[in-house]
Structure 1
Amino acid sequence: MSVSTETVKVVVVDDQTLFRSGLALLLGEDSRIQVVGQAGNGLAAIDLISSLKPDVILMDVKMPELDGIEATRRIVAANPDVKVLILTTFDTESSILHALQAGASGYVLKDSRADAIVSSILAVMAGERVMASSVAARVLDMLTGTSTRNEFYDGLTPREIEVLQLLASGMANKQIAYKLRISEKTVRNHVSNMYEKLHIFDRAQAVLYAVRKGLIDL
């Protein structure tokens, strides 16, 4: 279809009713967009597709019953002409990576202006992939093989990443040592090396880094 002469049919999927309804109203003010439906989870979104035949789905990530990533995977597999834009609160590399691997055409942040979201919708309808941040660019580097896992995690070794994940989840050094079957001194060495590479100084900063990289969920 030509997005310049026809309205784009959109379904908004988010488990937060106020956000979903408010976004639908804002998008509906643009003559190029027609919000044809809303859903509160991934399963409901899948059920709507056959009857509403949307062009674009704005999809939240964390929802009950079926999350946005798995819903995107199923929708794109069964309906290759439907474009999915992931809605995210935090632009963690991990969530964006999983979304793109599931077949999403890109993502928009929930605090984006309505006109920016409209532009993103029109862009994916024109066959573009919407990537709006340096974080997304790094994820695309990983997908195309131009960035290694080591670079993605700022030079951390696989073992240091493992220690970071356990540390950020609340484990003490002794617990980490027991779980990984290494000495507590070795754990301390890994933590020290990790702090130096990441230029951080305490566990609170380690937790923030782990969340940003998608290693843990809060």
Structure 2
Amino acid sequence: MIRILLVDDHAGFRAGLRALLSAAEGIEVADEAASGEQALALVGRAQPDVVLMDLTMPGMGGVAATERLTRDHPHVRVVVLSMSDDDDSVFAAMRAGARGYVLKGARKAELVRSVQAAAEGEAIFSPAIAARMTAYFAERERSEPALPELTRREREILALVAEHLTNPQIAARLGLSQKTVRNHVSAVFAKLQVADRAQAIMRAREAGL
């Protein structure tokens, strides 16, 4: 039996959620809280496996309550159940330790699955939230430069090394002294932990330079 603690400041919403979840096999609503402070006070007595946590409540909000709860009761899984679907809310909840994020208005099957998944130690997200997270990380990956450990100038020089240019040719191309180019090439080798130009060229091609 999965024990649930409901945390939301709207009594009517809690009542509807209790009725919905209580009708699901294998789920028991252990208690309810109307605020983050009340949730922290009840969790020891209620002994929930999963906490369904609203974010926006008077007093201690859901993010702060999640952070405290997951720190003091690491065995308890928190799933945020909120109207807020903006990136700031989602990632604040994840940083606080939430195991999932489900939007209010989700169908019964989605809510039940989120509770079951969290109890099993899985992370669970509403489809819309999962799609936005995927897009967010894909955009971050695209915006991050290849080989971020290198400076812009070092990446530029590595790209020319990958074109099989010699140090004098690179110096002429970029208007630098040969000594400066040698220093940059040495720095590239050290940062990439390669021994020679052939290995550096291989790393450059792997990175798409």
Q: TM-score, normalised by structure 1?
A: 0.61
Secondary structure of 1:75's aligned partner:
helix
Task: Please say if residues 77 and 121 of structure 2, whose CA atoms lie closer than 8 Å, have aligned partners that are also in contact.
Answer: no
1:57 aligns with 2:57: no
Q: Does 1:120 align with 2:127?
A: no
Question: Shift of the alpha carbon at 1:137?
Answer: 4.2
Q: What is the aligned-residue RMSD (CA, Å)? A: 2.0
Q: Which amino acid aligns with 1:109?
A: L
**C-alpha separation in 2, matches of 1:105 and 1:117:** 14
Unaligned runs of 5+ in 1: 1-6, 152-218
Residue equivalent to 2:2: 8
Structure 1's 138 and 44: CA in aligned 2 closer, same or farther, altered over 3 A? Answer: same
Structure 2 portions without partners, runs of 5+: 144-209
Number of aligned residue pairs: 143
| Matched residue type, 2:123 | R
Residue 45 of structure 1 deviates from its aligned partner by: 0.3
Indicate the residue corresponding to 1:43 in structure 2.
Answer: 37
Note the 1:1-150 alignment, pairs <5 A: 7-139=1-133, 147-148=139-140
* Contact persistence 1:138–1:147 (CA under 8 A): no
Displacement after TM superposition at 1:52 (Å): 1.0
User: 2:6·2:33 contact (CA, 8 Å) conserved in 1?
Assistant: yes
Asked if structure 1 preserves the Cα contact closer than 8 Å seen for 2:114 and 2:125, the reply is no
Aligned sequence identity (%)? 36
Looking at structure 1, the residues matched to 34 and 142 of structure 2 have their Cα atoms a distance apart, in angstroms, of 37
Asked whether the 8 Å contact 1:27–1:118 carries over to 2, the reply is yes
Q: Report the 3-state secondary structure (helix = DSSP H, G, I; strand = E; otherwise coil) of the residue aligned with 1:148.
A: helix
Give the letter aligned to residue 108 of structure 1.
Answer: V
Q: Structure 1 pair 140/51, CA: closer, same or farther in 2 (3 Å)?
A: farther
* Cα distance in 1, alignment partners of residues 84 and 6 from structure 2: 18
Map Cα deviations across residues 118-141 of structure 1 (whole Å, 9 max, x no partner): 111001112211022354344367
Instruction: Name the CA distance, whole Å, in 2 between partners of 1:13 and 1:32.
Output: 20
Residue 44 of structure 1 aligns to a residue whose secondary structure is helix
CA shift for structure 1 position 147: 4.0
Secondary structure of the equivalent of 2:66? Answer: helix
Does the 8 Å contact 2:103/2:126 carry over to 1? no
User: Counterpart amino acid of 1:29?
Assistant: A
State the secondary structure of the residue aligned to 2:115. Answer: helix
Give the drift of 1:42.
0.4
Q: Report the equivalent of 1:167.
A: none
Change (3 A) 1:149 1:138: farther
Q: Is the 8 A contact 2:33 2:39 kept in 1?
A: yes
